[in-house]
Structure 1
Amino acid sequence: MTASIDAAPLIPRDALFGNPTKTGAQISPDGRWISWLAPRDDVLNVWMAPSGDPDAAKPMTADTERPIREYMWAPDSRSILYIQDKGGDENFLLYGVDIESGKETCLTPFEETRVMLVGGSDTYKDRILVGLNNRDARFHDVHLLDLNTGALSLVLENNAYAGFLADDDLQLRLAILPNADGGTDYFKVVDNVVEETPFKSTDIDDALTTSPGGFTRDGKTMYWMDSDGRNTAALLAMDWETGATTLIAEDDRADIGGSLRHKDSGEVLAYAVTYLKREWHALDDGIQAAFDFLESQFEGEFGIASRTDDDRKWIVGNDPVVKPSASYVYDRDAGTLTKLYTTRPELEGAPLQPMHTREISSRDGLTLPSYLTLPPTSDPDGNGVPEAPLPMVLFVHGGPWARDGYGYNGHHQWLANRGYAVLSVNFRGSTGFGKDFINAANLEWGRKMHDDLIDAVDWAVDQGIAQRDKIAIMGGSYGGYATLAGLTFTPEVFACGVDIVGPSNLETLLESIPPYWEPMVAQFHTRMGNPNTEEGLALIKERSPLYKAGDIVKPLLIAQGANDPRVKQPESDQIVDAMKQADIPVTYLLYPDEGHGFAKPANNIAFSAVAENFLATNLGGRAEPIGDTVKESTAEIPAGAQFVDGLAEATA
């Protein structure tokens, strides 16, 4: 088996974690231009071309420090907007680039400020509503921003609310306030004044499965994703004046996960449900015909990334999983599909592996939707079970109020190519599967949430997928916490662990959350434990891996961004220090110019180089030599270079 896997080509790290050739395609609302992200001097920037001549592209931005990862067209098609922070601090500012002159302007020129989009309009295309927390870091005041002059006008000073919803006339209609019970209160806004009494409230059970979905163009109907009186979130239409609601769609397996709206009326034309895979359901004959055509053209799943104002041209992405993803222009009138680019053409012909969907049972009867990827040549009949058990990496998602999904996954492909089975599990607390699944995780950090991961490990062993003594646990954010929990609470289960920006002490994590998360603190306390009560503080300490650092007996690799505003550097420092004081080996990578995860390709490549050699050291898989990758990154190694084969030599 090992010899067979070794015969497969080793996919270079650069091809998996370096800059994509192009990504993030969008079409301007007026249809004249196509844009995308692509490297400029090795840094991702926004490029633009006439829609009829993509080869005539030119760069529109010139960032030299950090990749631009989010951008959008202004509604009037006169400028491109993007957000950028400094060194991963998540204080995102909004920038605009005039497409005629090329002039770039910071539209929110403030220090220690994070911008949020409150509302856009198809009627008033030259302005948007933004929230700014430059007055009080905890709350975002709402401003009207003229996109072409940069003028900012205060609409509402905010001293309480977590968010707002506006209509197409850019009038605030809804204010959102987390309540003391961990749920959410919704208030109507009239003439920029918030009413005193909420017209709708949820408790903690529905807090993550109920949210407003926006207004129709005329402002008379508001859509909701709503789980009140049901388990999964349904799509409802509410008459704004009477409050009467109409059910549009629901699915017993999963929450309604998004919708496609009419460009003029704002009415729902289609909706998506994602249980194991995403399924689109059209409510309009024309959209159904478009979906049928796209499904006939593509292998794997497709998604609609961008649409013109007249809705006649779409940017469509295709993810075949076993081939690199690509983007296309779909002309609905001509019935044509024109390829724009392949995101990572260097992966053409690479041994990319299929992703298998699985349902795993927890010990107390929950169904855990999961995803499995196996190494090349290990599963000749393609049934998702290798010919012989393999070393395995349990890759745990962050959040924890998030989810894993189906599709191309760079980490799955990388680790499978190195010789590991890769398993990702939607443990209790993951979103998208109804409120009962989420709330089954309340106060279960490090306990039943962790039990789900152990149950998945046992399943993989019982199925003949994994070797019991060669299983690693790896993940970022909550996945990093799960890694630390795995090595402290169940120290003999895993052969090693890789923690990426994971919290080690839940008490200090809650003490150091960003100020703009303050309105959500009650929900954190309800779901994790309340450190302001004697019982809650005891629970949080019990579930904090830091206090059991002395129980770690297996190798651990920790990676941290120094500017992380969510899981701050002391979360990694303190468990590294505790392990060093107890003479327990630990390897620590620290990136001074990164935050909650690693944005710069050189840093990503260096991390993957160290991580795959760490895994090879402890599980016996394949690895490219570390080479100069760490030296070419900003990584510092405060501890443990000697515990990864080749790392000390590579950094000498």
Structure 2
Amino acid sequence: MSENIKAVKKYTIEQFQNTENIAGAALSHDGSSILYASDQTGVFNAFSIQIKDMLPTQLTESATNAIFPISYFPQDKRFLYESDEGGNELNHIYLREENGKVTDLTPSEQAKAEFFGWAEDERSFFYESNKRDERFMDLYEMDIDSFTSQLVFKNEEGYNIASVSPNKKYIALYKTDKPNNSDMYIYSKEYGIKHISEHVGDVDYLPVTFDQSSNHLYYLTDENHEFSYLKRMNLTTQSTETVAIEDWDIVMAKFSYNYKYLIYAINNNGKTEVKLLDTATGNYVEIENLPEGQISSVSISKNEGKLAFTLNSSNAPSNLYCYNLTTKSLTRLTDTLNPEMNPNDLVKAEVVHYSSFDDLSIPAIYYKPHLEHNEKIPALVFVHGGPGGQSTVDYNPLFQYLANHGYAILAVNNRGSSGYGKTFFKAADKKHGEVDLQDCIEGKNYLASLEYIDENRIGIIGGSYGGYMVLAAMAFQPEEFELGVDIFGVSNWERTLKSIPPWWEAMRDVLYKKIGDPYEENEYIRSISPLFHAKNISKPLIVLQGANDPRVLQEESDEIVEAVKDNNVPVEYIIFDDEGHGFTKRNNRIKGYQAIKQFLDQHM
């Protein structure tokens, strides 16, 4: 192992968290500035940056609730943003005027509102809200002269709203009735709702956008294919043709402002690739000198000359970039890594595959620490959220922090994960806590096979569904892992499935078919719920929970912690009073991540 030994500087969690987190990239109407979210102040706020001089400006000053800007107005520097209360996911849409005045445009107290998109005439925007019926998201149109809204689609059957045609005549809808099967619909005032995806067997259909003429609907489907690809349908004849097909899932597609470009994203083995298609020529446009990494939040200027986006890699946090499509020049606008940190001290993740108990190949993202001594090191199996979900080759400050202090991380994409085809995705249906847990155990065995990993010091960590997998491992396979780190994980599926947020009504039956029906299959649901088997937990456990979490209620963590305490097992519990399903505030992440490392140091 001596050839791999490298001296690296050790950084504190405060140093890692003093790296700026940014999200979003919305270009202004004149292409001069980019609107984005940053937690530079410790809480996400709205910022803008001038492309010419690269000077950032803070636009909002929240000290409590995270603010995520959505879009500038089409003709000026006013902008819209979304924010909730302490992570409760009841987002409202706010207007921030150029003089700094802020107005809540969707003030219904117990309702959720989400921006949908600008109308083609730029005199209004669409948004979704469940203010009429908490179970379903209706579509509204808000006039930007009077800021009054009208209902344009009353959603009474649990449809998902996908796109509005440029002429406002059509609304594309879809409905998922079970994993791997969904249907596509078109709504118009003229004829109501029309089903446009008649098929046999399990096929997914996801409408994404219309063409400029409103005559064609672009959609993603896995019809006769293992992965999703892009097609379009003539709405008059319902004839279809393939637009783009890749070896992996196409996950997003949209047009630029004047429909000069079609841009789509591919989930390539845990890495995001973006392609830009010139609609006039059918040729792909190369983005030259692009650094290695994952592109997200792509925005094209109204004159279609600039491309703004964020880019990160496993060992570099997200930064804002602007690409000039005319001069083919790329400019990085931000430098978010804490200047106290040397990027060479961070680790570069690699995609690995290992065989599970039945020889199924399991993909994973592996973070190998810089080895500093000829001694074996501890490791963690990380499980992502879901069900579904995926670990990707993105920058993860917790992984980098732990790797910097000598912990190897294997982020497992167990069967049931997204991104690896529809067969892989449904392979854990009604088998959760069983076959997917075995994949995690085989991940542990993969780590143990590496010469520099201490096979007796391998733990398991995960959040949300991954937190459930942690508890499942501790309860159902109590000797496999040395400890568990549960971040707002499900302990009692019976309660969680009966108390899912009301605005998830459209997905309720799908969850029941994927995990189990808590009303019709109660005995099975209890058999896979760690809370009812907590007496088996014998290894140290730490639990982190947001008090306002609407998805995994605090009771889930309260009860498992009490049950484990009854076993006289070391257990730590941290509750964040001002967080929901995820920790958005820097001070809370510092507290939580530091507690995780101290727990690992003590028990492993």
Same fold (TM over 0.5): yes
- C-alpha separation between the residues in 1 aligned to 2:159 and 2:201? 16
Secondary structure at the aligned position of 2:286 is classed as helix
1:114 is aligned to 112
Answering whether residue 10 of structure 2 is matched by residue 10 of structure 1, we say: yes
Answering whether residue 419 of structure 2 is matched by residue 432 of structure 1, we say: yes
**2:6–2:371 contact (8 Å) kept in structure 1:** no
- C-alpha separation between the residues in 2 aligned to 1:420 and 1:13? 14
- C-alpha separation between the residues in 2 aligned to 1:444 and 1:70? 40
1:503 is aligned to 490
Structure-to-structure mapping, 1:54-133, within 5 angstroms: 54-55=54-55, 57-99=56-98, 101-121=99-119, 123-133=120-130
Letter in 2 for 1:218: S
Answering whether residue 338 of structure 2 is matched by residue 341 of structure 1, we say: no
- Taking a change above 3 Å as real, the CA distance of residues 96 and 189 of structure 1, as seen in their structure-2 partners, is same
Secondary structure at the aligned position of 1:481 is classed as helix
- Taking a change above 3 Å as real, the CA distance of residues 287 and 477 of structure 1, as seen in their structure-2 partners, is farther
1:337 positional shift: 2.6
Q: Which one of the candidate residues 246, 250, 270 is aligned to 2:245?
A: 250
**2:116–2:128 contact (8 Å) kept in structure 1:** yes
Secondary structure at the aligned position of 1:345 is classed as coil
Q: Which one of the candidate residues 350, 359, 376 is aligned to 2:370?
A: 376
1:601 positional shift: 0.8
Q: Which one of the candidate residues 159, 165, 168 is aligned to 2:166?
A: 168
Q: Which one of the candidate residues 564, 569, 573 is aligned to 1:588?
A: 573
Structure-to-structure mapping, 1:166-245, within 5 angstroms: 166-179=164-177, 183-191=181-189, 194-195=192-193, 198-200=195-197, 205-206=202-203, 209-245=204-240
Letter in 2 for 1:95: Y
Secondary structure at the aligned position of 2:333 is classed as strand
Structure-to-structure mapping, 1:508-587, within 5 angstroms: 508-533=495-520, 536-587=521-572
- C-alpha separation between the residues in 2 aligned to 1:188 and 1:22? 36
1:572 positional shift: 0.7
Secondary structure at the aligned position of 1:176 is classed as strand
- C-alpha separation between the residues in 1 aligned to 2:76 and 2:175? 34
1:449 is aligned to 436
Letter in 1 for 2:242: L
Letter in 2 for 1:328: Y
**1:182–1:520 contact (8 Å) kept in structure 2:** no
Q: Which one of the candidate residues 326, 329, 346 is aligned to 1:352?
A: 346
Letter in 2 for 1:105: T
Answering whether residue 301 of structure 2 is matched by residue 313 of structure 1, we say: no
2:380 is aligned to 393
1:157 is aligned to 154
Residue by residue over 1:567-592, the C-alpha shift from the partner in whole angstroms, topping out at 9 and shown as x without a partner, is 00111111112223343332111111
- C-alpha separation between the residues in 1 aligned to 2:546 and 2:31? 40
Letter in 2 for 1:170: K
Letter in 1 for 2:113: V
Which runs of 5 or more structure 1 residues have no equivalent in the other structure?
380-386, 620-652
2:48 is aligned to 48
- Taking a change above 3 Å as real, the CA distance of residues 281 and 483 of structure 1, as seen in their structure-2 partners, is same
**2:277–2:284 contact (8 Å) kept in structure 1:** no
- C-alpha separation between the residues in 2 aligned to 1:182 and 1:271? 20
1:49 positional shift: 4.6
Residue by residue over 1:210-252, the C-alpha shift from the partner in whole angstroms, topping out at 9 and shown as x without a partner, is 3111111211111111012222112111112222111223334
**2:86–2:548 contact (8 Å) kept in structure 1:** yes
Letter in 2 for 1:85: D
Secondary structure at the aligned position of 2:36 is classed as strand
- Which deviates more from structure 2 when the two are superposed, residues 286-295 or residues 185-194? 286-295
- Taking a change above 3 Å as real, the CA distance of residues 396 and 108 of structure 1, as seen in their structure-2 partners, is same
- C-alpha separation between the residues in 1 aligned to 2:351 and 2:372? 17
Answering whether residue 359 of structure 2 is matched by residue 365 of structure 1, we say: yes
Letter in 1 for 2:91: F
- Which deviates more from structure 2 when the two are superposed, residues 162-171 or residues 451-460? 162-171
Letter in 2 for 1:307: I
- Taking a change above 3 Å as real, the CA distance of residues 568 and 205 of structure 1, as seen in their structure-2 partners, is farther
Secondary structure at the aligned position of 1:368 is classed as strand
- C-alpha separation between the residues in 2 aligned to 1:204 and 1:532? 26
Letter in 2 for 1:363: F
- Taking a change above 3 Å as real, the CA distance of residues 583 and 273 of structure 1, as seen in their structure-2 partners, is closer
Secondary structure at the aligned position of 2:150 is classed as strand
- Which deviates more from structure 2 when the two are superposed, residues 343-352 or residues 560-569? 343-352
- C-alpha separation between the residues in 2 aligned to 1:502 and 1:177? 28
- C-alpha separation between the residues in 2 aligned to 1:67 and 1:181? 32
Letter in 2 for 1:555: P
- C-alpha separation between the residues in 2 aligned to 1:283 and 1:335? 15
Residue by residue over 1:249-270, the C-alpha shift from the partner in whole angstroms, topping out at 9 and shown as x without a partner, is 3334x21132353432376355
- C-alpha separation between the residues in 1 aligned to 2:91 and 2:338? 31
2:272 is aligned to 278
- Taking a change above 3 Å as real, the CA distance of residues 449 and 220 of structure 1, as seen in their structure-2 partners, is same
1:500 positional shift: 0.5
Q: Which one of the candidate residues 602, 606, 614 is aligned to 2:587?
A: 602
- C-alpha separation between the residues in 1 aligned to 2:285 and 2:313? 19
1:327 is aligned to 320
1:465 positional shift: 5.2
Percent identity over paired residues: 30
1:327 positional shift: 2.2
Letter in 1 for 2:126: L
- Which deviates more from structure 2 when the two are superposed, residues 520-529 or residues 264-273? 264-273
- C-alpha separation between the residues in 2 aligned to 1:495 and 1:288? 54
TM-score normalised by length of structure 2: 0.92
**2:312–2:394 contact (8 Å) kept in structure 1:** yes
Residue by residue over 1:57-107, the C-alpha shift from the partner in whole angstroms, topping out at 9 and shown as x without a partner, is 4332222212324533234444211110001100000011123x3321111
- Taking a change above 3 Å as real, the CA distance of residues 516 and 280 of structure 1, as seen in their structure-2 partners, is closer
TM-score normalised by length of structure 1: 0.86
